[in-house]
Amino acid sequence: MTQDKKKIIESVNKISYGLYVITSVGNDGRINGQIGNTVFQITSTPMRVAVGINKNNYTYELIKESGLFVINILKQSQIDLVPIFGLKSGREINKFENLKYHKTAAGVPVLDDILSWMECRIVNELTVDCGTHALFVADVVDGDVITSDEPLTYKFYRDSKIKKNV
């Protein structure tokens, strides 16, 4: 890799993010979730967010089917959920096996004991094909705050990854 390319990657890696579990449901009730950092609010009227999802992910498949996803905002203390939801695919394991969760009326899983959550319905005509990833723009249709705590950030994960050498 050239020095210029390395510098560009280092620079892009300085962008700040949170880390979230994005959950979804298929038309037949299959559930799954994945870690995502590409999550941001775009407008408040209407309340709209966007998420960037890799098109190879199982979660992408479910979001495409139902048009629905939930953004689960994690507490810093929930960093152990990152390898479960971010390093394995729901095509191979049941990520919810040892976790407490409930479902929204539409059937999307919401993890218990998180900081807050919001249920989102994608706006089809605003989905952008970005190559490897799709950018889903979605209306926030429901949500709640569970507790006040420090939110998990990408920086906290990176720093602890270096510390723990995971």
Binding residues for ligand FMN, per CB under 6 A? Answer: 19, 32, 34-38, 52-54, 57-59, 82, 86-91, 133, 157
Nearer Cβ to ligand FMN (6/158): 158
Provide the token pair at 46. Answer: 């209407």
Q: Give the H/E segment covering residue 160.
A: helix 154-164
Least separation in angstroms between residue 142's CB and ligand FMN is: 22
> Residue 4 or residue 131: which is nearer to ligand FMN going by CB?
131
Task: Let me know: does 153 contact 124? Beta carbons within 8 Å.
Answer: no
Supply the DSSP string of 82-118, one letter for each residue.
HHHHHSS-TTTS-TTTT--EEE-TT--EEETT-SEEE
CB of 159: closest distance to ligand FMN in angstroms?
Answer: 12
Q: Which is nearer to ligand FMN, 4 or 163 (CB)?
A: 163
CB of 4 to ligand FMN, least distance (A): 25
- Closest CB to ligand FMN: residue number: 86
Instruction: Tell the smallest beta-carbon distance from residue 47 to ligand FMN (Å).
Output: 20
Closest CA to 18 of 158, 163, 144: 158
Which is closer to ligand FMN, CB of 3 or CB of 33?
33
Which residues, 6 or more positions from 118, have their beta carbon under 8 angstroms from its beta carbon?
49, 70, 71, 140, 142, 143
